[in-house]
Structure 1
Amino acid sequence: MKQSVQGSAGAGTPEPRTPGGDRVPAQARGQARAADGLDGLRERDATVPAARGEHTHSERPIPGPRPAVQRSSVRGQILDALRTALVTGELKPGEVYSAPVLGERFGVSATPVREAMQQLALEGAVEVVPNRGFRVVRRGARELAELAEVRALIEVPVMLRLARTVPGERWAELRPLAEETVRAAASGCPATYAESDRAFHAALLALAGNEQLVGIASDLHRRSQWPLVGGPVRHGRADLVADAAEHTALLEALIAGELDVVRGLVTEHFAGSH
């Protein structure tokens, strides 16, 4: 994806990529750099056998060169890459993907792919298909609207309470995160924007001092970013730029202590998520 960065592998070592051939997203950067002592080591098989019960003979291979993935935090890097592929629609709703075939694409064994897919199943992104692999969950407009409603029920009251109690200088510390959403939106890459969007919202809610709240809200937020069956929603560059502009306006209102403006902005922000 456009937000991908250079990995920590030594010269000549290919970078990890998504199933569509793009590089592994930015959140894997720190993990890869921590693996300096393992540069060049990859977890891969010359031929990755199909796991027992997973039939791959009729599954079309994913085109493109096989990328290398650093041995350190392989599962985490694969999970990040698969999440990016979900946001961009490279992993298509309704399609079934087997761990061995995806493992071949990433140049790793099926095990870390299967572990990452199990995590995505817990998050509701995919479902297990016995003897075949994992199917990307089909989502409709109603589910997206329901997620937006639940997020609003959780986040709006918290934001209004924080607007009355948190001093302006604390809000001002979050300006870099708001500015990052603007830059991500300008890139036009939905995966880049999704990451910065979640980071901004999580930082706002973190001022409440409730880790459970942040975790639940972030999970709902991630689910709301997956595309619908008919294709990506609100993923056009203009939509991303407009959404990021709301972040900036909201933060400035919080800094200024303009409660009525804050109330209107947070209500509009979630209404636009439908």
Structure 2
Amino acid sequence: MKHSAQGAAGTGAGTGAGTGAGAGRIRTAAAARIPAQPGAPDLARGRALGGGEPDGSARGEHTHGEAPAPRPRALVQRSSVRGQILDALRSALATGELRPGGVYSAPVLGERFGVSATPVREAMQQLALEGAVEVVPNRGFRVVERGDRELAELAEVRALIEAPVWLRLARTVPAERWAELRPLAEATVRAASSGCPATYAEADRAFHRAVLALAGNEQLVRIAADVHRRAQWPPAGSPSVRGRADLVADAHEHTALLDALIAGDPDVVGSLVEGHFTGAA
């Protein structure tokens, strides 16, 4: 693939170093846009997606008198909100909307998403575990800056993990099983044609995940997906990831690979796999 590209919350409502647009409150993860953060606004208005919480906690302050644990239904609802926020933040990373080197506070992001700081903080903590952000005490989270060398290393790791598996599967998986992946390959082409890096990144991971799942190794799928996601983050100094033409070319490699796999042509498969992962960035 040609892709570019701990955590505890800050106690204050720090300012964001990145710039962005969109003053309206965001109701869904799909519509999320990460704005500039000139300060830490009052979060009393930000309750659209998540439940309320004590004012001090909403401001990102440490509170010692924690409220009783929520009922199971509330837990499910908050988990859903956290998942939506995590998806939105991952998309913002893929598009470069969360700028490498930028500092973002959970309270300010929560206000813009229309939720309390808590689900944002939890999502950021997950991103910290994935290596996407790092904690900045009393301010929030900084998006990790990735240089060309790190992205090249990630591309190499992807090739070492995935390429041998693709070649082994090419010899063992029947044509009809490969044909079942046609909708996913075509979905990557449609996503690339949209020109949206985040949409393509998701479709791309889905296709690769489905291919690797044929190996029947859940650990392989999990590890490869983690490396793949990291490789999709844009490098430092890049305003965005690759353009539409690059995305479309990459997506068409999926359909070409699938055609060769269905045809059972090992030489063509080997050549395409090598090119697909050698060019990963």
Q: TM-score range by the shorter chain?
A: 0.7 to 0.9
User: Match for 1:248 among 251, 255, 260?
Assistant: 255
Identity %: 75
* 1:132 equivalenced with 2:146 (yes/no): no
Q: What is the aligned residue count?
A: 228
The alignment partner of 2:142 has SS state of strand
In 2, Cα distance between equivalents of 1:238 and 1:196:
16
State whether structure 2 residue 61 is matched by structure 1 residue 52: yes
Aligned to 2:185: 178
Give the secondary structure class of the aligned counterpart of 1:218.
Answer: helix
Contact 1:44–1:107 (Cα < 8 Å) also in 2: no
1:44 Cα deviation from its structure 2 partner = 5.0
Displacement of 1:107 in angstroms is: 1.3
Partner secondary structure for residue 73 of structure 1: helix
Q: Would you say the 8 A contact 1:42–1:71 is kept in 2? A: yes
RMSD: 2.1
The normalised TM-score by structure 2 is 0.76
Amino acid of the residue matched to residue 50 of structure 1?
R
Secondary structure of residue in 1 paired with 2:134: strand
Change (3 A) 1:166 1:272: same
Task: Summarize deviations over 1:79-138 as a string: whole Å, max 9, x none.
Answer: 000000001111111111111111111111111100000000000000011121110000
Q: Distance in 1 between matches of 2:151 and 2:99?
A: 17
* Match status 1:144 vs 2:151: yes
Distance apart, 1:19 and its partner CA: 3.2
Q: 2:34 aligns with which of 3, 20, 26?
A: 20
Q: What CA deviation, in whole Å up to 9, does each residue of 1:4-30 have, x standing for no partner?
A: xxxxxxxxx954532337xxxxxxxxx
Counterpart for residue 74 of structure 1: 81
Specify which of 43, 47, 51 is matched with residue 51 of structure 2. Answer: 43
- Equivalent residues in 2 for 1:1-274, closer than 5 Å: 14-16=27-29, 17-20=31-34, 42-44=50-52, 49-52=58-61, 73-231=80-238, 235-274=242-281
**Corresponding residue SS for 2:123:** helix
Structure 2 runs not aligned, ≥5 long? 1-25, 36-47, 63-76
Matching residue's letter, 2:137: P
Cα offsets for 1:184-235 (capped at 9, x unmatched): 0110000000000000000000000000000000000000000111215752
Task: Provide the secondary structure at the position in 2 that maps to 1:119.
Answer: helix
Shift of 1:260: 0.8
Give the conservation status (yes or no) of the 8 Å contact 1:93–1:137: yes
Q: Match of 1:134, as an amino acid?
A: F
State the one-letter code of the partner of 1:52: E
- Distance in 2 (CA, whole Å) between partners of 1:41 and 1:124 is 26
Distance 2:92 2:226 in 1: 17
**Partner secondary structure for residue 127 of structure 1:** strand
TM-score (norm 1): 0.78
| Structure 2 counterpart of 1:18, one-letter code | A
- Structure 1 stretches of 4+ moved >6 Å: 45-48
3-state SS, counterpart of residue 134 of structure 1: strand
Task: Provide structure 1 residue ranges, at least 5 long, that are not aligned to the other structure.
Answer: 1-12, 22-39, 54-69
